[in-house]
Structure 1
Amino acid sequence: MPGRYGVSSRSASRHVSRRRSRARLRFRGARLTVLSCSVATLAGVFGLAGTATGPDVPASAGVLPPSQRDVGDISRGTDRELAAKTVGPVMVKVIQAPPADPNVKPVATAPLPAGSGSGHRVVFDITQQTVWLVDADDTVVRTYFVSGSRYDQLPTGTFEVFSKSRDAVSWHGTETMEYMVRFFRGENSNIGFHDLPVATATGTEVQTLSQLGTPLSDGCIRQDLEDAVALWEHTEVGTPVVVVRT
């Protein structure tokens, strides 16, 4: 018998029944999908994603089979992210070396240059800014740093001490020095060895002991007072002075 809308009540009931069946299937499918996603999520958290894959897990679950997953890259990426989060910026503490004591001269240990003569003499190396006092048997009795000319006007060769003065004044008249031992006649003035000059205007030495080993003079070779006394005593007029570059 026709129903209200031109179909039999039985047909309508079958239609409704089919719709309900489809709804149940869709609902069950949704439950299955949700359940699959839940299992995949838990498996991913606990490292068991491989056990949740298979024919019963739909592709929509978001879990790839083990053959398609690059576990190494994932783990390395996780390690890098963890390192970035836990380590943070590296703090580097820079420790600066203490400044040199201006009252302490550096220690010279270089050996006597080869080809620097023989017998009782004084050897001066322009390159190393070092002096050696040598005895007649070629024994080095003293080695020390000096400060030669910053203009580098002294030639190499063998010269002789031609004069000595216990006290002297610089060619420009603004400095005094002691234990002068001259061995080379320069264009403006004679060149020799002496102690650290003292400025007449201030009464202080023009350089520190720690600066020995650096060329700083106008022409002569500056020495620590003790070394100047030692060279003064080691030489006499006629003593050879050998100037070299190494």
Structure 2
Amino acid sequence: MSRHKATHRAPRRESSPPTARHPRHEPSPTTARRPRRLSRGRIGALAGAVAATLVIGLASVATQLGGGSASADELVADSSDPAIVRATLPIVEAPASQKDQAAQEEPAVPADSGQGRRIVFSEGQQRVWLIDDDENVARTYLVSGSKHDNLDRGTYSVTSRARHATSYDYSGTMEFFVRFATGDTAAIGFHSVPTGNDGELEQTKDELGTALSAGCVRQWRDDAVALWKFAPVGTTVVVTA
């Protein structure tokens, strides 16, 4: 009887299924990311950058307006906080050519109006000039003189003044009355546009430059105040054509 060598076979191993790769974790779309906090160093750097930008911009504006160069030191005042910029722009004055043009547009003082400190009233132009001791025009403006021929041309002087006055016919009141002549029925002088008994002004500012009064020279209130301050008793008044 032949012998057969018994062979022990190891049981077949079952192959394990391939290991599934775990997908990369993706954040849920509903999960909000927390904002990143800026450190104090970054905040300071940002503030410094903003300040520098403002300085450069202001320097450029100052250069364009002033017609010259302006450094950052001239524009920024002392400040411990770089984010705070205090700028002072130069005062821009009108060019000399514009000033000369404005002076040329102002009506010239009548040639026959005398000399020295005086008030000049032109009946034809319905205009007043306040002229100082140096022959400079301190102020000039339109007025409304008399619609009647009751004032002769010539040289007068201020005789009296009244802060408040009533019209000769009691139809209204006026302020800053500066008298320099006498008419047929009452004194003649410069004063504010009268206020009627109904509380309304007897004319508008746009009507100045037209003869509308019953005998005096009407002025807008600001001009009446200016003449009142300019003309004490004795001030020369020249009436021209």
TM norm structure 1: 0.55
In the comparison of the two structures, how many residue pairs are matched? Answer: 137
Q: 2:202 aligns with which of 189, 193, 206?
A: 206
Pair 1:167 & 2:167 matched: no
Unpaired stretches in structure 1, ≥5 consecutive residues: 1-107
Q: CA deviation at 1:176?
A: 0.2
Moved over 6 A (4+): none
2:133 alignment counterpart:
136
1:149 alignment counterpart:
146
Deviations 1:94-141, CA, capped at 9 Å, x for gaps: xxxxxxxxxxxxxx8311010211111000000000000000111111
Write the letter of the residue equivalent to 1:196. V
User: In 1, distance between residues paired with 2:149 and 2:205?
Assistant: 21
Q: CA deviation at 1:152?
A: 2.2
Q: 1:235 aligns with which of 226, 231, 234?
A: 231
Q: CA deviation at 1:179?
A: 0.1
Taking only aligned residues, the RMSD between alpha carbons, in angstroms, comes to 0.9
User: In 2, distance between residues paired with 1:153 and 1:166?
Assistant: 24
Q: CA deviation at 1:146?
A: 0.1
1:182 alignment counterpart:
179
Q: CA deviation at 1:144?
A: 0.3
2:76 alignment counterpart:
none
Identity of aligned residues (%): 50
Pair 1:193 & 2:190 matched: yes
User: In 2, distance between residues paired with 1:230 and 1:158?
Assistant: 21
- Spell out the pairing of 1:43-192 with structure 2 (5 A cutoff): 109-192=106-189
Unpaired stretches in structure 2, ≥5 consecutive residues: 1-104
Specify the SS of the correspondent of 1:187: coil
Q: CA deviation at 1:142?
A: 0.4
User: In 2, distance between residues paired with 1:139 and 1:173?
Assistant: 38
Query: Which of the two has greater helix per residue?
Result: 1
From the CA coordinates, give the structure whose radius of gyration is larger.
Answer: 1
Specify the SS of the correspondent of 2:224: helix
